[in-house]
């Protein structure tokens, strides 16, 4: 029993649920988190050295290749029970919003529909100069490829360090975090702003905040409930109990 009935009841009766996920929710699909050491070929690089406009300007091919490696990795993995549990939860909650910091698209592949991607999506490509999504381009063998509209270099449509988050995604995430009955914070170290502010905003607006993470974070001491453990184990059990208690 993750939560005793008296504590589960307010969750089971919630009409508005907002969820924030981080890299930890994809960990059990085999996608390394940011705080995990970079593996293999990329062991000598830190994300902060590759995921920045400056790094791209300095060595566009290296940055493009790193994202190509991550895109290939994500294409080869599957959503895990944590992703599927959130997709199931969405079907029983009248107003459900999933805000993710992840760029792997695994929530959508698991069946989640109302997904706000705060940091973009690695499978989308955009022009570095025009900042607009490009869906097709001529393969000339040049890496990175070039924008068919302006000839500028193409880049992944993800948020890099020192870049601002996409609108209206950020405004929607703020609105859903300050207008919810229950807020789940799953698999995030809760250190990178502005996403890290969302659970605290929910708390300040009277929501029940539940943290799911095997490790402590800056949210742990403030959360209403802390469910320590891997998301792929905790979430399916929580959703099972949630459904059983739902009126
Ligand atoms: P992190 O790598 O910072 O944190 C991953 C969190 O997941 C940690 O708190 C782990 O304890 C936890 N975790 C690990 N395995 C887990 C599991 N099986 N189940 C649940 N939790 C688990 O990743 P994020 O918090 O997502 O930003 O990082 C936030 C942002 O920092 C990323 O979106 C990225 C990075 O800079 C951008 O790319 C803009």
Rg (Cα) of the chain, in Å, rounded? Answer: 19
For ligand 1, mutation pick of 188, 216, 219, 231 (most atoms within 8 Å of CB): 188
pLDDT in tens, 25-67: 999 999 988 766 566 666 777 877 889 999 999 999 999 999 9
Contacting residues for 111 by C-beta, under 8 A, at least 6 apart: 84, 87, 90
Residue % of the chain over a pLDDT of 70: 97
Q: Does position 184 have pLDDT exceeding 70, yes or no?
A: yes
pLDDT of 189 > 70? The answer is: yes
pLDDT surpasses 90 at 5: no
pLDDT tens for residues 137-151?
999 999 999 999 999
Q: Is the pLDDT of residue 186 over 70?
A: yes
User: From the CA of 112, how far away is ligand 1's center (Å)?
Assistant: 19
The residue-averaged pLDDT of 164-169 equals 94
pLDDT of residue 61: 96
Q: What is the 3-state secondary structure (H, E, C) of 37-103?
A: CCCHHHCCCCHHHHCCHHHHHHCHHHHHHHHHHHHHHHHHCCCCHHHHHHHHHHHHCCEEEEEECCC
Q: Ligand 1, closest atom to CA 28?
A: 18
Segment 82-103, tens digit of pLDDT: 999 999 999 999 999 999 999 9
Percent of the chain's residues with pLDDT above 90:
84
| Angstrom distances, CA of residue 201 to CA of 18, 120, 172 | 12, 22, 13
Q: How high is the pLDDT of residue 157?
A: 97
Q: How far is the CA of 26 from the centre of ligand 1 (A)?
A: 9
Q: Which atom of ligand 1 has the smallest separation from the CA of 48?
A: 36
Better-scored residue on pLDDT, 8 or 57: 57
pLDDT of amino acid 40: 62
How close is the Cα of 35 to the center of ligand 1, in Å?
A: 7
């Amino acid at each position: 029993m993750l939560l005793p009935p008296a504590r589960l009841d307010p969750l089971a009766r919630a009409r508005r649920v907002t969820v924030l996920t981080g890299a930890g929710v994809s960990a059990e699909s085999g996608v390394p988190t940011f705080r995990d050491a970079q593996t293999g070929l990329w062991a000598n690089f830190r994300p902060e050295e590759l995921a920045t406009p400056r790094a791209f300007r300095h060595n566009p091919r290296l940055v493009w290749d790193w994202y190509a490696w991550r895109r290939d990795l994500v294409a080869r993995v599957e959503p895990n029970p944590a992703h599927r549990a959130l997709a199931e939860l969405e079907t029983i909650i009248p107003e459900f919003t999933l805000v993710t910091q992840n760029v792997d698209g695994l929530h959508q592949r698991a069946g989640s529909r109302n997904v706000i991607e705060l940091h973009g999506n690695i499978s989308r490509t955009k022009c570095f100069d025009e900042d607009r999504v490009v869906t097709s381009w001529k393969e000339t063998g040049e890496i990175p490829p070039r924008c068919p509209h302006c000839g500028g270099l193409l880049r992944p449509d993800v948020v890099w360090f020192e870049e601002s988050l996409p609108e209206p995604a950020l405004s929607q995430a703020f609105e859903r975090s300050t207008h919810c009955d229950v807020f789940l914070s799953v698999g995030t170290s809760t250190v990178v702003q502005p996403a890290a502010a969302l659970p605290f905003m929910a708390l300040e607006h009277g929501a029940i905040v539940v943290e799911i993470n095997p490790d402590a974070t800056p949210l742990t001491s403030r959360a209403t409930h802390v469910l320590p453990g891997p998301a792929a184990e905790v979430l399916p059990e929580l959703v099972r109990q949630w459904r059983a208690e739902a009126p």
